[in-house]
């Protein structure tokens, strides 16, 4: 059971994608999420369970402070496609569904990345991977809301 104090709403801070392997995801004005595929034009889009990756700005700020990391402006430095604030998605169980904006419906499929370790990469412990159940455009400022079961 989730704690009553846990936020069920957040906001999109920035959206990113990259078209080639091994490149940092670059900040965009918007991204188009395609049902059961992922972010249009992103190298990692496909029919896997890791179609969209999300990371909280709070997690980012924590690791930057702890590790004294320098981040590049205009990019999603930990390969997340959507950076959010105000909600700790990594505390929700796999299978949780949430809306981003009015049209996009995502479902958490993985929390962190099992089997990988890098103390400087917060995505490995607090990053979220999701599947696109209903596609659409996501822009910074969109609200993110947990869908009740």
Can you read off the two tokens belonging to residue 18?
Answer: 């990259």
- pLDDT at position 73 is 85
pLDDT tens, position by position, 115-140:
677 777 888 899 999 999 999 999 99
Give me the residue spans of the domains in the chain: 9-146
pLDDT on residue 52: 97
Pick the CATH number of 9-146 from 2.40.33.20, 3.30.420.40, 1.10.40.50, 1.10.3720.10: 2.40.33.20
The confidence score (pLDDT) of residue 119 equals 73
Q: Residue 63: what pLDDT?
A: 85
Pick out the chain residues at pLDDT < 70. Answer: 1-5, 115
**What pLDDT is recorded for position 24?**
84
Give me the pLDDT at residue 1, please. 45
| Predicted pLDDT at 120 | 72
The span from the first CA to the last CA of the chain, in angstroms, equals 12
- Check: CB of residue 93 under 8 Å from CB of residue 131: no
The pLDDT value recorded for residue 80 is 93
Q: Look at the pTM and tell me if it is higher than 0.75.
A: yes
């Amino acid at each position: 059971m989730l704690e009553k104090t846990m936020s069920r709403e957040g906001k999109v801070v920035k959206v990113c994608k990259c078209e080639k392997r091994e490149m940092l995801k670059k900040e965009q004005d918007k991204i188009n999420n395609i049902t059961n595929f992922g972010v249009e034009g992103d190298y990692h889009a496909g029919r896997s369970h890791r179609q969209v990756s999300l990371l909280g700005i709070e997690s980012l700020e924590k690791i930057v402070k702890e590790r004294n990391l320098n981040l590049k402006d205009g990019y999603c430095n930990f390969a997340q496609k959507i950076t959010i604030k105000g909600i700790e998605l990594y505390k929700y169980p796999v299978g949780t569904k949430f809306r981003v904006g009015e049209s996009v419906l995502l479902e958490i499929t993985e929390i962190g990345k099992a089997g990988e370790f890098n103390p400087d990469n917060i995505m490995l412990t607090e990053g979220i991977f999701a599947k696109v159940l209903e596609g659409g455009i996501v822009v910074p400022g969109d609200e993110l809301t947990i869908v009740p079961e």
